[in-house]
Amino acid sequence: MLHIGCHLSSSKGSVAMAKQALALDADTFQYFTRNPRGSRAKEIDPKDVADYLAIAKEHRFAPVVAHAPYTLNACSAEPRTREFAQMAMADDLRRMEYTPGGLYNFHPGSHVGQGAETGIQLIASQLNQLLTPETSTTVLLETMAGKGTEVGRSFEELRAILDEVELSEKVGVCLDTCHVHDAGYDIVSNLDGVLTEFDRVIGLSRLKAIHLNDSMNPCGSRKDRHQKIGQGHIGLEAMERIINHPALRKLPFLLETPNELSGYAEEIRLLRSLYRE
Ligand code: FE
Ligand code: FE
Ligand code: ZN
């Protein structure tokens, strides 16, 4: 069975998201842990969490992805910005322990001219301060498109972060199809080659989730503009190969395409029809 879902608003709590996912014929979803702009996060409602866990179990949900605000920058040149990222992530990880064993995805950050080397060190040092042997959450580094000074545009940069993290078994990778395509990995005509490269540099065992997005721009454009499935430069045939690829087909696929809920429902239906059981 294809494990698929989409990005949902978390404003009404976990049960609301689970019900929305079910209505979309999804068995997973992604949500922001807090408002992308602000620092405020709702405190956990234990009843909401308990009811959510019951629904997720009954409907055999695939792993759900919590996404850190994309405005956090763990490798900023500003110490206060780094401290804020650290505090927000620490609080997110604390709240995620109400649903143990989850996935927490974040953008490694932008080195803002300090160089990728420095960025990698700052990101790893933040993870080293956050992760403890008791952390049950797997933290995911997202593959980035490489716009501006983004760290994580190449598999090598993600590997370098992993190499610096002490509790590195608690860190995995989330592959965003739009981002890797825009970063220059040709997943349209050479999916096998790209995944072989991922395996050689990072290891496929580290890959825990896929952000399934088409791209408005050509391979290597370093733009990061998501497009609806089948309507961009990746295209529907490549999407079909991606969801069916032996190395990927059992992972949770999360849509972050420019859609309302009805558009997501349609994409989920389309992708389910292209999945070979
Ligand atoms: Fe993201
Ligand atoms: Fe993404
Ligand atoms: Zn993106």
Residue 233 CA, ligand 3 centroid: distance in Å: 15
For the chain, the C-alpha Rg in angstroms (whole number) is 18
Is 147 buried (19+), middle (13-18) or exposed (0-12) by CB count in 10 A? middle
Low-confidence ranges of the chain (pLDDT < 50): none
| Local structure of 256: helix, strand or coil | coil
Residue 148 CA, ligand 2 centroid: distance in Å: 16
Q: Find tokens 């592959």 and name the residue.
A: 175
* Chain center to CA of 218: 21
pLDDT score, position 38: 59
Q: Contact, 75 vs 114, CB < 8 A? A: yes
pLDDT in tens, 78-98: 999 999 999 999 999 999 999
Q: What region, left, alpha or beta, does residue 152 occupy, with left being phi > 0 and alpha being psi -120 to 50 degrees? A: left
| Alpha helices by DSSP H, the chain | 14-23, 46-58, 79-96, 116-130, 155-164, 177-183, 191-201, 235-244, 261-274
Residue 204 CA, ligand 1 centroid: distance in Å: 19
The residues, any chain, with a CB within 8 Å of residue 69's CB and separated by 6 or more, are 32, 33, 34, 35, 36, 37, 88
Q: Residue 105: nearest ligand to its CA?
A: 1
pLDDT score, position 40: 76
Residue 234 phi, psi dihedral angles, 5° rounding = -85, -50
Residue 37 CA, ligand 1 centroid: distance in Å: 14
The closest of 254, 272, 261 to 23, measured between CA atoms, is 261
Dmax (CA) of the chain: 50
* pTM for the model: 0.98
Residue 143 CA, ligand 2 centroid: distance in Å: 8
Angle, alpha carbons 254-207-95 (nearest 5°): 65
Q: What region, left, alpha or beta, does residue 29 occupy, with left being phi > 0 and alpha being psi -120 to 50 degrees? A: beta
pLDDT score, position 35: 83
Distance from C-alpha of 36 to C-alpha of 100, rounded to nearest angstrom: 23
Distance from C-alpha of 19 to C-alpha of 22, rounded to nearest angstrom: 5
| Start-to-end Cα distance in the chain | 6
Residue 212 CA, ligand 2 centroid: distance in Å: 8
